[in-house]
Structure 1
Amino acid sequence: MLAAKRMFSLAVADTDLFLEMPSSTQALYFHLGLRADDDGFVSSPKKIAKICGCGEDDLKILASKHFILPFESGVVVITHWLLNNNRIKSDRYKQTLYIAEKSMLEVENGVYMFTGSRMYPERNQNGDITEPQIRLDKSREEKNRVNNNGRKTSRFTPPTVEEVQEYCSERGNAVDAQSFVDFYISKDWYIGKNKMKDWKAAVRTWEKNQRQKNKKSKDDEGLEGWLNA
């Protein structure tokens, strides 16, 4: 049985980042927190969103702002669960059923993050936490692992908006980094039926599609002008 009392910290909920989200998204955050297990995991976030009159867009916003971390299994975890001081006494604590998902996480300053990343909450002049920024450990991102066949493969790590923006600036394209990241978060970083392996290649594909779309738009404008001449 889950503990009946859950806590929320003003260090999280009283920030511009949180308060600027739609009211439905804020409400969903609290509903997810109330229904989380003792480790902060929520087994049916989409169902809860529907019951509460919220939508999947609210879940996407919470994920893109790093208030929840989504897993391929459909489970999510409340990122600031421990920062919200939800530490259950040992005689009442019940370990999460999602051991595999929990093994993919580490904790820094009371904040859950995926192993291999570093999340440093930025603070404003009042000392309140604003938007958490993920700083990837480059040595881990580039580190190769060996599969059962003895061949080296790279472990994919989702990029931050800042990393995508930096790469787009290097290439001089007009790809919107935030839209790119939000889109693939909603797809759980899948391209079709396959898990993404190289996000930079995906950016180049967006860049190519954007050029083709712009060219078609100009061609259509030229044709319209010719017909009206």
Structure 2
Amino acid sequence: MSEQSPESGRRRAVELTAVLMLSIVAVLTAWCGFQASKWGGEMSIAFSQASSARIQASEAASEARDARQFDLTVYAQWVNAVAEEKSELVTFIEERFSPSFRVAFDAWNAGGRVETGPFAMPEYVPDGTEEAADLSARADAKFQEALVDNQRGDNYSLLTVLFALVLFLTAMSQRDLSKMATRALLGLAIAVAVVGIVIMLTFPIRI
């Protein structure tokens, strides 16, 4: 049995390195594709939640507008009754103030009626106002979350392109090229793969 020559051994080592590179990078490419898909799904969910919160915020804001309109109507009747000095009617109308308007009205009275009316008081918060603000804030947060998830998916997609370049360089190194060209291509493939792996390790993952 003849001994393996040094040149043959080096060639064998290059081939084994290339096979190992192809195997590892193929797995990493599949992993990046999987992560891109998962983050794409997270993005869709976040966008859906943002849309739902936005609709609910609109409904709550509509409720607040209706409550304000009701209070304005009742207050207008109260102003007329006071102007006409109909004390019984004034009392009757005051008993029908909504809870939120009652708080503002009492604060307005306690403050000497300095403000132009109860509606100018900070205590006046119609039903649905706080809910609308909270839901709008949630919608904004979910929308921003969706944008972040979208960027994460794009980052993984870009890594698949980088790893595809590694596969190309590794495959080219196995062509019938000069020894220097083969080593240069394989070395470049390894360098790009290492850079890609280091970058990938900084990315969040989703299972």
> TM-score, length-normalised on structure 1?
0.23
Structure (1 or 2) with the greater strand fraction: 1
Structure (1 or 2) with the greater helix fraction: 2
> TM-score, length-normalised on structure 2?
0.25
Higher relative contact order (CA 8 A, sep 6+): 2
Of the two, which has the highest radius of gyration?
Answer: 2
